[in-house]
């Protein structure tokens, strides 16, 4: 009996570890290869050394040679800045607009409130893939092609974020707001001085979900930001990969650079992100 249990335990660890290897090795390989020259990448591919960093005597030009070259060959810095401006713009305006809408739907009584809530939830079904052409025509006519405005404004309002804010604020106690109202605080004042500071977790959750979605966005930046100076990092990566001759070490460096902000966000804000995921599933 005891032996049987130990055996099972070992089997469990073998399976979980094997799976961990399968899920992790491309990431590890990407980072390790970004430190190697192309010849070394191909030589190491036949052995375990593919997943190990290069030895000091194997590299010429330093460990970060690929990074330097990648940044020189294409405008990677600019692509990263564009992605940051794009995602942070959407986050800032998105948090304000969507939290206010969520607050209105959770707290105020007004005619057609449930109708608007239903409309907002219904828009969740519209796939962005089915409206990108008319949206492009609209943005083109507004003269917003290849501008941050064109990248940001269409995605500020977000039905999912509104819904998340509403759900959270429904459960939020009213006492403080009422006390502030008695003290003569305006409605906008109550919102920014009481609701926002006290509901930081849901703001953090929405901010992270928005960051991850828009940092990874592909289709919209592809159609609306076709000028090199406006490319986001995801579009820049695709462009870089299609630049002959392909230098895999440099491509790996660029891929690593594009992944790092997400890794940092995830490592530091995992709690809020997982909270958001849990909310996504259970509240639906």
For residues 128-157, which are near another protein according to CB under 8 A?
129-138, 140-141, 153-157
Site string for another protein, 181-210 (x = CB under 8 A): ------x---x-------------------
84-122: string of b/e by CB count within 10 Å (b at 16+)? eebbbbbbeebbeebbbbbbbbbbeeeeeeeeebeebee
Q: State which residue, 65 or 235, has the beta carbon closest to another protein.
A: 235
Distance CA 75, CA 58 (A): 28
Distance CA 76, CA 237 (A): 8
DSSP label at residue 187: H
Count Cβ atoms below 10 Å from residue 161 Cβ, excluding itself.
24
Find the DSSP H helices in the chain. Answer: 2-33, 38-44, 65-73, 76-107, 113-123, 132-141, 148-152, 159-170, 175-182, 187-190, 196-198, 200-215, 219-224, 233-241, 248-282
- Smallest distance from another protein to CB 168, Å: 15
- Smallest distance from another protein to CB 200, Å: 19
Instruction: Give the number of residues in contact with another protein, rule: CB under 8 A.
Output: 82
Contacts with another protein in 248-277 (CB under 8 A)?
A: 248, 251-252, 255, 258-259, 262-263, 266, 274, 277
Among residues 90, 101, 209, 210, the one that binds another protein under rule CB under 8 A:
101
Q: State which residue, 2 or 57, has the beta carbon closest to another protein.
A: 2
Nearest to 150 by CA among 163, 161, 141, 159: 141
Our finding on whether 12 is near another protein (CB under 8 A) is yes
Token pair for 157: 């309002």
Among residues 159, 185, 194, 196, the one that binds another protein under rule CB under 8 A:
159
Considering only the stretches 56-64, 74-82, 198-206, 237-245, report the one whose residues sit in contact with another protein under the rule CB under 8 A: 237-245
Our finding on whether 105 is near another protein (CB under 8 A) is yes
Contacts with another protein in 60-79 (CB under 8 A)?
A: none
Count Cβ atoms below 10 Å from residue 228 Cβ, excluding itself.
14
Nearest to 135 by CA among 256, 220, 199, 261: 220
What is the phi/psi pair of residue 142, to 5°? Answer: -80, -5
- Smallest distance from another protein to CB 237, Å: 5
Q: State which residue, 57 or 282, has the beta carbon closest to another protein.
A: 282
Our finding on whether 42 is near another protein (CB under 8 A) is yes
Our finding on whether 282 is near another protein (CB under 8 A) is yes
Contacts with another protein in 79-98 (CB under 8 A)?
A: 97-98
Our finding on whether 239 is near another protein (CB under 8 A) is no
Among residues 56, 197, 245, 281, the one that binds another protein under rule CB under 8 A:
281
Considering only the stretches 62-70, 168-176, 203-211, 235-243, report the one whose residues sit in contact with another protein under the rule CB under 8 A: 235-243
């Amino acid at each position: 009996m005891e032996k049987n249990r130990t055996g099972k335990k070992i089997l469990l660890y073998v399976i979980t570890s094997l799976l961990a290897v399968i899920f992790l090795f491309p990431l590890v390989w990407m980072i390790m290869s970004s430190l190697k020259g192309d010849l070394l990448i191909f030589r190491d591919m036949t052995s375990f050394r593919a997943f190990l960093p290069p030895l000091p005597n194997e590299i010429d030009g330093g460990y970060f040679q690929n990074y330097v070259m990648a940044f020189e060959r294409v405008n990677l810095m600019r692509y990263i800045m564009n992605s940051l401006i794009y995602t942070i713009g959407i986050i800032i305006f998105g948090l304000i607009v969507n939290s206010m809408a969520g607050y209105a739907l959770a707290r105020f009584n007004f005619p057609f409130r449930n109708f608007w809530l239903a409309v907002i939830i219904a828009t969740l079904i519209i796939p962005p893939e089915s409206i990108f052409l008319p949206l492009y025509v609209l943005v083109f006519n507004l003269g917003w092609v290849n501008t941050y405005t064109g990248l940001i404004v269409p995605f500020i309002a977000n039905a999912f974020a509104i819904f998340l804010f509403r759900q959270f604020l429904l459960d939020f106690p009213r006492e403080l707001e009422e006390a502030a109202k008695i003290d003569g605080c305006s409605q906008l004042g109550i919102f920014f001085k009481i609701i926002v500071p006290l509901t930081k977790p849901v703001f953090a959750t929405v901010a992270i979900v928005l960051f991850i979605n828009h940092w990874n966005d592909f289709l919209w930046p592809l159609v609306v930001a076709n000028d090199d100076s406006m490319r986001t990092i995801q579009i820049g990566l695709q462009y870089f990969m299609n630049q002959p001759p392909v230098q895999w070490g440099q491509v790996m460096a660029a891929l690593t650079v594009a992944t790092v902000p997400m890794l940092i966000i995830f490592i530091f804000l995992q709690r809020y992100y997982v909270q958001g995921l849990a909310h996504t599933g259970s509240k639906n």
